[in-house]
Amino acid sequence: MKQYQRSSVLIIGGAEDKVHGREILQTFWRCAGGNDAIIAIIPSASREPTIIGDRYLSIFRDMGVKDLKVLDVRDRIEGEDKYYQEYVEQCTAVFMTGGDQLRLCGLLADTPLMERIRQRVKLGEITLGGTSAGAAVMGHHMIAGGSSGESPNRALVDMAMGLGFIPEIIVDQHFHNRNRMARLLSALSNHPERIGIGIDEDTCALFTPDDHLEVVGKGTVTIIDAQAMSYTNQGKVSAESPLALHNLRIHILCHGDRYNRKAHQPTAALDN
Amino acid sequence: MKQYQRSSVLIIGGAEDKVHGREILQTFWRCAGGNDAIIAIIPSASREPTIIGDRYLSIFRDMGVKDLKVLDVRDRIEGEDKYYQEYVEQCTAVFMTGGDQLRLCGLLADTPLMERIRQRVKLGEITLGGTSAGAAVMGHHMIAGGSSGESPNRALVDMAMGLGFIPEIIVDQHFHNRNRMARLLSALSNHPERIGIGIDEDTCALFTPDDHLEVVGKGTVTIIDAQAMSYTNQGKVSAESPLALHNLRIHILCHGDRYNRKAHQPTAALDN
């Protein structure tokens, strides 16, 4: 079984297998330290935090951990809770569930709890995982909502501030499953210096400390790289007008494929 | 008003405006010779060829033409009809309506009528237009059907032989409107030497004799260029497995943007 480092960031496209092979959640568990893991589960994106918190609690408990706890923040004041903060000091990993990414950011952005998590992730001390809404918040810019079935246009996507764990990316989840290519392109038109990461369901973009991402799971991870974009009409047209974007580079990556974030180059699973 | 040459190929993404500005159909009409135009309308993709034939008949008649006729081929034997063939000799343009692309090819592929149209288009003697199903048939390889809402995979798209007017392209129509990025990517994985052209509704990719295409209309034309693709798992995995495609170049083009088919480079509307 492949070994991953303990200071990874796992960005999951939603609807990950929770019943059978649990490949992605197993990978998170291993990055969290396996039987030595101490996992903090943050269910705050969900309007049913008890149910979803308990679900992940029982999944990770089944795998075998040293300790685990749901940090059930339902009010910003709980982001200053001493007990929760102490737990974050001892934990080896934090997992953020699905729900509504605006709710998650609204409750936790800039709280002492989230600031400390961010710091520990940045220092490479803990592993971080997020699925669906918990994935959407990973970048500095966040897709808060949007639509499909239209030519790319700025009105197709609602942007907000994310939690900024990996500032240079803009994440979209349930990606091909919900036909979100046009909305991610629309998001990028405004921020071409960022990298668009579209993650399919039951699929994970695993960011490793050596500046790579690796694909785990059943679907694809789509990378949209606009660094060489030669033209966009983005600033010149109304929000509903179709967007021109010339010279994008796109990579569709499958299980085991890697992407070098510094060199902006993918390598195939077979060559890794 | 911009002048286009009379030997253009207009590939229309379906649902073009037939009532108000009629920008795309007007452009076709001008390429057909305007008031001197002699237009043959082929409604054979449709199961209601009389209704759809009459519709375009009345649209082009309103614009003012020298002559026009519906070549209502409903049986392959009519593809040998002397009267129809004579009309194709005198016409300045041919227009293929929407419907089902397999029906259109089934009725007309390799008939003397279609062979003569192909020859005259190739010689630059006439203008050709096609919308929706009439657009799908333009390449050598044709998307006959497919689905959306999945990671790119070979089973997501049904391929067939097209009429091959512009062999090097694979066309997909109603493109962003019906979320067809994954299916066009899937089609290209098998034919990376072709250029993928995704055309939105009420949008036209106008192929000019100087090896460019230019965008006319309300939406976008998406070019997928896999010439520099560094890796695909296409031949190695089952039809339902997700596809890896590394290093694609993609251009989203808007009204007035052009694409140089030889140089594989777009230029912006403003620079043309």
Q: What is the pLDDT of residue B5?
A: 72
- CB-based contact A244 B253, cutoff 8 Å: yes
**A244 domain-assigned:** yes
Chain B residues in contact with A241 (beta carbon < 8 A): 254
C-alpha gyration radius of chain A: 18
Nearest residue in A to B258, CA atom: A246
For residue B149, the chain A residue with the least C-alpha distance is: A177
- ipTM of the shown complex: 0.95
Do residues A130 and A11 lie in contact, with contact meaning Cβ atoms separated by under 8 Å? Answer: yes
**B130-169 residues touching A, CB cutoff 8 A:** 148-152
Check pLDDT > 90 for residue A122: yes
Place of tokens 């995995």: B237
Q: Is residue B76 part of a domain?
A: yes
B249: closest CA of chain A, how far (Å)? 5
Domain count, chain A: 1
Do the chains contact at B248 and A245, CB–CB below 8 Å? no
Nearest to B212 by CA among B263, B251, B139: B263
Residue-wise pLDDT tens digits, A212-226: 999 999 999 999 999
Question: Is A172 part of a structural domain of the chain?
Answer: yes
Q: Determine, yes or no, domain membership for B138.
A: yes
Q: Domain containing A186 — which CATH number? A: 3.40.50.880
Q: Residue A272: inside a domain, yes or no? A: no
User: Which range marks the domain in which residue B240 is found?
Assistant: 9-257
Chain A residues inside the 8 Å CB shell of B254? 233, 241-244
Per run of 10 residues, the mean pLDDT along chain B (length 272 residues) is 78 97 97 97 98 98 98 97 97 98 98 98 97 98 98 98 98 98 98 98 97 98 97 95 98 98 94 62
User: SS in 3 state form for chain A?
Assistant: CCCCCCCCEEEECCCCCCCCCCHHHHHHHHHCCHHHCEEEEECCCCCCHHHHHHHHHHHHHHHCCCEEEECCCCCHHHHHCHHHHHHHHHCCEEEECCCCHHHHHHHHCCCHHHHHHHHHHHCCCCEEEEECHHHHCCCCEEEEEECCCCCCCHHHEEEEECCCCCCCEEEEECCCCCCCHHHHHHHHHCCCCCEEEEECCCEEEEEECCCEEEEEECCCEEEEECCCCCEECCCCCCCCCCCCEEEEEEEEECCCCEEECCCCEEECHHHC
pLDDT at B6: 79
Q: Which residues contact A136 (CB under 8 A, 6 or more apart)?
A: A101, A130, A142, A143, A144, A162, A171, A172, A173
Q: Do B149 and A245 touch (CB under 8 A)?
A: no
Is residue A263 predicted with pLDDT exceeding 70?
A: yes
On whether any CB of chain B is under 8 Å from the CB of A248, the answer is: yes
Q: Which residue of A has its CA nearest to B232?
A: A268
pLDDT computed for residue A4 by the predictor: 67
Q: Do A176 and B150 touch (CB under 8 A)?
A: yes
Q: Does residue A270 sit within a domain?
A: no
> Average pLDDT in the A5-9 region?
87
Question: What pLDDT shows up at residue A6?
Answer: 79
Residue to mutate among A214, A220, A237, with most B CBs inside 10 A, is A220
Of residues B125, B170, B168, B114, the one with CA closest to residue B144: B170
Domain presence at residue A134 = yes
Annotated catalytic residue, options A23, A78, A150, A168:
A150
For residue B115, give the amino acid letter. Answer: E
A15/chain B closest Cα distance in angstroms: 13
Scanning every residue of chain B, which has its alpha carbon at the shortest distance from the alpha carbon of A149?
Answer: B177
Query: B154 in a domain, yes or no?
Result: yes
A82: exposed, middle or buried (Cβ count in 10 Å: 0-12, 13-18, 19+): exposed
Query: Contact, B139 vs B19, CB < 8 A?
Result: no
User: Using CA atoms, how far apart are residues A128 and A121, in angstroms rounded to an integer?
Assistant: 7
Residue A8 predicted with pLDDT over 80: yes
Mutate to test the interface with A, among B202, B230, B252 (most CBs of A within 10 A): B252
